Amino acid sequence: MAKSSARKTRVPRGEARERIVRAAVEAFAEKGFEAASTRDIAQRAGTDQGLLTYHFPSKDALWRAAADRVFGIFESLDDRLASLEHADPKERSRGVIREFVRLMAKHPEFFRFMVDCGNRTDARQRWLVDTHIKPRFEYMKEHGVARVAGIEEAAVPHAFYALAGAAALIFAVAPNCRRLTGLDPRKPDAIEAHAEFIANLVVP
């Protein structure tokens, strides 16, 4: 001990990698794929850029790891929705929507990932749709609001994007909303107000 070097005693395996993924999620959500530099991500993670290329063969691979992380947020949603199974249809629909809004508020990075590569047609966009968005879309079609609120088959895409946009936009552009309206959508009160507003919109 007592070495002059303040070096840490070796962090557990994968600890730095974990920090890198977290920093990547943050940076990609904030700036988009191309504008977020690997050096910026490394700095947020408290390491150097060289370590990124050690843990991930390319920036693209790092982005995919970050996307995996982002879409993992839905696992917590499934548990919460299960507790609503016993409620009556109308109140259950409202509960589902409220939980979805709360999730978007807690993880605005989901919306930003989706929008960032949403109008591209490259491999990254195809990968994101096929591996992450599609399963969620199917899940919503089967267990979501569609059946309860009585939405016909052809309107499902419209409902999907309308709900996602209505629920998430205000949190994805929180500084914008704060400056424009004076309301900070990140505050708990505002989150609940938005959840209630969207629930009233979809299930009056």
Partner DNA sequence: CAATCGACTTTTCAATCGACAAGGTTCGGG
Partner DNA sequence: CCCGAACCTTGTCGATTGAAAAGTCGATTG
- Residue 204 interacts, among a second copy, DNA, none and using kind-specific CB cut-offs from 5 to 8 Å, with a second copy
- Residue 38 interacts, among DNA, a second copy, none and using kind-specific CB cut-offs from 5 to 8 Å, with DNA
Task: Indicate whether 120 belongs to the interface with DNA (CB under 7 A).
Answer: no
Q: What is the dihedral of CA 92, 93, 99, 100, to 10 degrees?
A: 160
**Stretch of 11-19, 76-84, 119-127, 181-189 lying at the interface with DNA (CB under 7 A):** 11-19
**Stretch of 10-18, 45-53, 89-97, 149-157 lying at the interface with a second copy (CB under 8 A):** 149-157
Total residues in contact with DNA, by rule CB under 7 A: 28
Total residues in contact with a second copy, by rule CB under 8 A: 59
Alpha helices in the chain, H assignment, sequence order: 15-31, 38-45, 49-55, 59-71, 74-82, 89-106, 109-116, 123-128, 134-143, 145-149, 156-172, 174-181, 188-202
Binding mask 103-122 for a second copy (x = CB under 8 A): -----x---x-xxxxxxxx-
CA neighbours closer than 13 Å in the CB half-sphere of residue 201: 14
d(CA 204, CA 198): 10
d(CA 195, CA 204): 13
Region 1-30 residues binding a second copy, contact defined as CB under 8 A = 29-30
Contact 166, 201 (CB under 8 A): yes
Region 38-97 residues binding DNA, contact defined as CB under 7 A = 38-40, 47-51, 53-55, 57-60
Q: Which of 169, 100, 106 is nearest to 136 (CA)?
A: 100
Interface ranges with a second copy (CB under 8 A): 29-35, 108, 112, 114-121, 125-126, 129-130, 133-134, 137, 154-170, 172-177, 179-181, 183, 185, 193-194, 197-198, 201-202, 204
